[in-house]
Structure 1
């Protein structure tokens, strides 16, 4: 326990004076067609965020295809290396740190966790393609001195079927990138991820089911967190690693905490209170824990004035009461 305490010293939630200590108070800064401007960053600064996840993308035709297409002229500006670098440099000039989080999009929006090859030859092709993809952005992360790199997002089948490859890949990434590493495991995957010892943070996309209520209260949601939280805390202690929520968020709709991972276009009624309560509960449960490093809200669009709003039932908290919840909690964990 002594070593664990030393490891997490920088993340302790209170100083001797009782003042809240710095956490990663992040937003997932969504790639756009255009360059980012100062006015876009101003809105992030206003909610006291101190970090942003920048997400360049690679594309795969379907879950059996081994080829990742990335950094092409056909992609949106923010999805490319040039665009990601421009986003990062302006964020850094405004005092925000960055997690570089390259992601894969599979045709038709198929879940990345199901990516699985049908032959050894295709597995080898996928491994080579993914290595080119991630090393490209590892090199970029080193160029811009980003303090954190996420080596993959919700790739359970790929990880499960090729564990030796991932161990080799981590070594290769460290040969070109000197910052900290994490991996964004899905909420139902993180306890089976085999290489936490090789990374610096346990990363979790925190879409845990918490309540089946239409509008769950903060107390109900915190109670829903307890069994999950206990398991996460145990893993942090066993692996001797701090936890970061590489994504966390809730849609502004009825039953938002029943299946928080849903990204479908359902027309469930807008429920701004449910979203705000869910945000409050996650802050209450985690931000005071010494083994917890912070997290990145899913998700934040650069065109703030045209994003979210009281008629929107999607994930973004922008121009909704949940935005004020985030602002107030992030403000409490400034330096």
Structure 2
């Protein structure tokens, strides 16, 4: 696979098929992620223990044009997010190209993405970007060729904030040096954990300053760093982050470990990168997908989850995707209905479980979101330009759910 195709979706991967079959059958015995290279874990300061539609439809040939309007005029979020309201968002993944784009280009591209998201009805955006390490046992975390500089992040963040979006900054460890799929960000084992945390703090510091200066709402201090969860090094790291950044400091856990225990990281908010496999046919109705989601969530706790955000939710628009929602390697027959119905189900779960909101994975920063994806090269998880998926997202964002901090249904 070409490097660009793989790097487009750095959070999403799977074990080889033979391993996948075994792990899907025994996810809790093995404790590894059945559909991605990652695995996460569970809670911080907070402790979670705390109309169905039918979807059939055969795969369609080709992909229709985007239903989201595009305009050169600057648009603004119609109903900006307020504390307690639902976060209706999208993950924007930004990896700098080998030939660095101009500042003018990235600002114009950010405006294009902001305009598209306004058309979807989003009120929130999370800006994810890579940082690097030198191997599974390395003590080093650092910027690399795909890492945007703090100043570049500032420029892009300002565009989204000027458009009225709630904003999140989310550095994510790139896995190229970790020998995937056996090695991934969730099983790193630094030779010196104290040195690793010092290095990580140094890397994060200028981005935390940007977050503070630009009044970002959330800074994700870590994503799917499963093997590092529970280490005492998080105490000083989070304390340092909270001194320099007055917004929400969060951690995003992988879905499999979310349902098995606690995440011992002293942050004040938890997100789930949510790729729960549901073993149903492609023709399953939305109601059956909702049931599948709830069966997974109920392993952790039943009822409302008012402190939980789906920090990543997505699935490939292809046959068989319900069995492995995070599989970005596969390019089976395109089936937009599978993706759209998954979005409908996830949105219903967010509302019924009174969650904080959802961020759909994802849009590649340099792409034109108004152009249908090239199904010969693009990940099936791409949703921008897929009319059924866009309609499902727009319906979700306009559903009337106001969030766990409000009383409206």
TM score, norm. by length of structure 1: 0.82
Q: Please, which of 176, 186, 201 is the counterpart of residue 113 of structure 1?
A: 186
Distance across 2 between alignment mates of 1:210 and 1:275: 13
> 2:196 — aligned with what?
126
Q: Could you tell me how far 1:310 is from its partner in structure 2?
A: 6.7
Q: Are residue 269 (structure 1) and residue 342 (structure 2) matched?
A: no
> 1:18 — aligned with what?
none
> 2:383 — aligned with what?
317
Q: Are residue 285 (structure 1) and residue 342 (structure 2) matched?
A: no
Q: Could you tell me how far 1:92 is from its partner in structure 2?
A: 0.6
Secondary structure of residue in 2 paired with 1:282: helix
Distance change (3 Å), C-alpha of 1:263 and 1:80: farther
Q: Could you tell me how far 1:146 is from its partner in structure 2?
A: 0.6
Given that 1:268 and 1:313 are in contact with CA atoms closer than 8 Å, whether structure 2 keeps it comes out as no
Distance across 1 between alignment mates of 2:282 and 2:321: 8
Number of residue-to-residue matches in the alignment = 301
Distance across 1 between alignment mates of 2:202 and 2:262: 22
Q: Could you tell me how far 1:236 is from its partner in structure 2?
A: 7.2
> 2:119 — aligned with what?
46
Q: Please, which of 284, 294, 307 is the counterpart of residue 242 of structure 1?
A: 307
Q: Could you tell me how far 1:326 is from its partner in structure 2?
A: 0.3
Distance change (3 Å), C-alpha of 1:139 and 1:333: farther
Q: Are residue 75 (structure 1) and residue 139 (structure 2) matched?
A: no
> 2:71 — aligned with what?
none
Gap regions ≥5 residues in structure 2: 1-45, 47-83, 403-409
Distance across 1 between alignment mates of 2:195 and 2:215: 30
Given that 1:253 and 1:269 are in contact with CA atoms closer than 8 Å, whether structure 2 keeps it comes out as yes
Distance change (3 Å), C-alpha of 1:84 and 1:236: farther
Distance across 2 between alignment mates of 1:125 and 1:200: 25
Distance across 2 between alignment mates of 1:257 and 1:153: 23
Q: Which moved more, 1:300-309 or 1:87-96?
A: 300-309
Given that 2:128 and 2:172 are in contact with CA atoms closer than 8 Å, whether structure 1 keeps it comes out as yes
Given that 2:293 and 2:349 are in contact with CA atoms closer than 8 Å, whether structure 1 keeps it comes out as yes
Distance change (3 Å), C-alpha of 1:133 and 1:222: same
Gap regions ≥5 residues in structure 1: 5-20
Q: Please, which of 357, 364, 373 is the counterpart of residue 301 of structure 1?
A: 364
> 1:255 — aligned with what?
320
> 2:161 — aligned with what?
92
> 1:331 — aligned with what?
398
Q: Please, which of 227, 232, 244 is the counterpart of residue 157 of structure 1?
A: 227
Given that 1:253 and 1:313 are in contact with CA atoms closer than 8 Å, whether structure 2 keeps it comes out as no
Q: Please, which of 258, 267, 272 is the counterpart of residue 199 of structure 1?
A: 267
Q: Please, which of 32, 35, 60 is the counterpart of residue 133 of structure 2?
A: 60
Give the RMSD, CA atoms, in angstroms: 2.5
Q: Deviations over 1:63-99 (max 9, x none)?
A: 22221221x5x436xx332222111100011111101
Given that 2:304 and 2:352 are in contact with CA atoms closer than 8 Å, whether structure 1 keeps it comes out as no
> 1:15 — aligned with what?
none
Secondary structure of residue in 2 paired with 1:185: strand
Distance across 1 between alignment mates of 2:400 and 2:85: 5
Given that 2:131 and 2:146 are in contact with CA atoms closer than 8 Å, whether structure 1 keeps it comes out as no
Q: Please, which of 288, 291, 296 is the counterpart of residue 228 of structure 1?
A: 296
Distance across 2 between alignment mates of 1:113 and 1:102: 14
> 2:62 — aligned with what?
none
Given that 1:56 and 1:103 are in contact with CA atoms closer than 8 Å, whether structure 2 keeps it comes out as yes
Secondary structure of residue in 2 paired with 1:287: helix
Distance change (3 Å), C-alpha of 1:107 and 1:93: same
Q: Could you tell me how far 1:56 is from its partner in structure 2?
A: 2.9
Distance across 1 between alignment mates of 2:162 and 2:301: 35
Secondary structure of residue in 2 paired with 1:27: strand
Distance across 1 between alignment mates of 2:122 and 2:311: 14
Q: Could you tell me how far 1:147 is from its partner in structure 2?
A: 1.0
> 1:140 — aligned with what?
210
Q: Could you tell me how far 1:224 is from its partner in structure 2?
A: 0.7
Q: Which structure's relative contact order is higher, taking Cα pairs within 8 Å and 6+ residues apart?
A: 2
Given that 2:88 and 2:124 are in contact with CA atoms closer than 8 Å, whether structure 1 keeps it comes out as yes
